[in-house]
Structure 1
């Protein structure tokens, strides 16, 4: 059963929250965020301002996936992680 866009946003928020709290993550998580965001970007129920945030998160996940030190990449983006998590919270 495919996830609807609200569930996808919840999964995305969970991954971002784990990155923020743990200051570490995996390439698989970055790839999962990319897949979720690609799906969300094709959904008409997603608002334009949310799409802007999703583009930022997509760039973060792509940069993290190719970073030589993913944990440092996550640490360097703590402010953005907080903003994105708050942004997702404000959607519900």
Structure 2
């Protein structure tokens, strides 16, 4: 059974919150961020305010996936992570 967009947003918020709290993450989490954002961007039920922040979150996931130092990448986005989590609420 596929996840609905509310569940996808919850998972996305969880990953971003963990990155913010722990200042570390994995490449697979970055790939999951990309998949979730792609799905949410294509869903007409997602609120426009949420959709407006998704391209930045996608770029964060993609850049993190290819980063030579993922933990530094996450650390450099601490402020944005907090803002994104709040905007996804």
**Range of TM-score over shorter length:** over 0.9
Q: Unaligned stretches of 5+ in structure 1?
A: none
- Aligned length in residues: 89
Give the whole-Å Cα distance in 1 for the aligned partners of 2:50 and 2:86: 12
What TM-score comes out, normalization by structure 1 length?
A: 0.93
Taking only aligned residues, the RMSD between alpha carbons, in angstroms, comes to 0.7
Shift of 1:31: 0.3
Give the whole-Å Cα distance in 1 for the aligned partners of 2:48 and 2:6: 15
What TM-score comes out, normalization by structure 2 length?
A: 0.96
| Correspondence 1:77 to 2:64 | no
Deviating runs (4+, > 2 A) in structure 1?
none
SS where residue 18 of structure 1 aligns?
helix
Give the whole-Å Cα distance in 2 for the aligned partners of 1:74 and 1:6: 24
| Correspondence 1:51 to 2:51 | yes
Q: Unaligned stretches of 5+ in structure 2?
A: none
